[in-house]
Amino acid sequence: MTDTTTYQTPSRRRHRGRKFGTLERSVALLLAGMLGLGALSGCVPGETDAVTLDFFQFKSEAIADFDGIIADFEAENPGIRVTQNAVPDADTAIRTLLVKDKVPDVISLNGSGNFGQLARAGVFHDFTGDPILDQINPAVQDIVGALGSHENEVNALGFVNNGNGVLYNRDIFAAQGIEIPTTWDELIAACDALQAAGIAPFYGTAADAWTVQSPLNGLGAQLGGDDFFPDLRAEGAEVGPDSAVSFAKNYDETFEKLQTLYSYAQDGYLGRTYEDGNLAFANGESAMLMQGIWALSPILANNPDISVGGFPYPVTDDPADIELVSGVDVAIAIGRDTPHLAEAQLFVDFLFQKEVLNSFAASQNMFSTARDAAENTNPALAELQPYFQAGQITGFIDHQIPASIPLGPIVQQFLTDTNSANALATLDNEWRKVASRTTSTRSGD
């Protein structure tokens, strides 16, 4: 049963801030401290004296956690107020604000392709050289940087990460004498053993297009190669049969293995939804589920007593090759032109204090991105934690694919007709069309 810890407000305890590595930051802290103490005016500041930070926050399930963090921060920084603005459609809302030239002071966003586009547009502060980077797992920052940046800047900080692997029922595995597979052959052998015992190895949920991207990410991010998307972007509108890299050339094995995994799903999986899968898995109708740790909460809501764990997709015959596909669930940025940079930096520094960060991660069933994060107490994450701590992580491939490319429906169609050549050619064609439009726009045509 998973840990149900919620964020614990440490307002009764003192947080020791880290030492800053630059004179500029020291001066900023001094000025902010003087503001908080009323030293500039000779009196304790009231609401009218406080600097108010606009904190754009995309994660609805984290509103209460951030409320607690903000209360603690304000208690320690009486000259600063933080207004949390949580919105239901963050991607649209942040773009609307940018068009109106109303960039928030501090911004939380999902580390996705949308973030990468905004970063490349130069709307975020540059954290290059900031000592706070020394506190963050460098493998996490590699994932953030791969999404996109403005002129090789560091435009956001990874706050908490998820994990995309295979969820499994520990009791079923134990009853069948199956150990966690660490090679592709072991995974297939486990599926064969489960099937022979009359147990569905996987519960498929292909009726929801986004769900088929989960195993695609788990397989493709490891098999496609770290340089695939940079090389693909370099090809631009030339992607196709004769290009150095393409989906058709580099992702054939990924689609072959994806088809194999779904061949072990229950009958009728093309018509089953994400909610169907969570309920069925919670009720023991399959041994595994091709979903990441975001599915833990709904699974446990359906069956609090289920013993569930997770493992990365073992894509090769060498266990040393395994990487956990992990996305930056929450990335923290600062608006490039905020008039309250010193105060915004103080708030971000507070967010990344280990006690605050670890407590938030535990509450959200995520991984803390702290370089020296404490062991995660959530038993459902126990098998995934070592990969994260060792930096054996890589990012989602669908975060590298423009939203205008209908990745989910393309994969759905592939699972229906099993025509991988057609699916891969379609992806190449869609990429080529996007690249052509982008090149045309940049050239002024």
Predicted confidence at residue 79, as pLDDT, reads: 95
Reported as a pLDDT band with limits 50, 70 and 90, residue 439 is low
- Mean pLDDT on 236-248: 93
Predicted confidence at residue 5, as pLDDT, reads: 47
Report pLDDT digits (tens) over 318-330. Answer: 999 999 999 999 9
- Mean pLDDT on 91-105: 90
- Whether 108 contacts 58, CB under 8 Å: yes
- Whether 388 contacts 319, CB under 8 Å: no
Chain mean pLDDT for the chain: 88
SS3 216: helix
Report pLDDT digits (tens) over 145-199. Answer: 999 999 999 999 999 999 999 999 999 999 999 999 999 999 999 999 999 999 9
> How many Cβ atoms from other residues are within 10 Å of residue 174's Cβ?
11
Q: Residue 61 has what DSSP assignment?
A: G
Reported as a pLDDT band with limits 50, 70 and 90, residue 10 is very low
Report pLDDT digits (tens) over 328-385. Answer: 999 999 999 999 999 999 999 999 999 999 999 999 989 999 988 777 778 999 999 9
3-state helix, strand, coil in the chain (%, to 5): 50, 10, 40
C-alpha distances (whole Å) from 135 to each of 112, 132, 139 are: 22, 5, 12
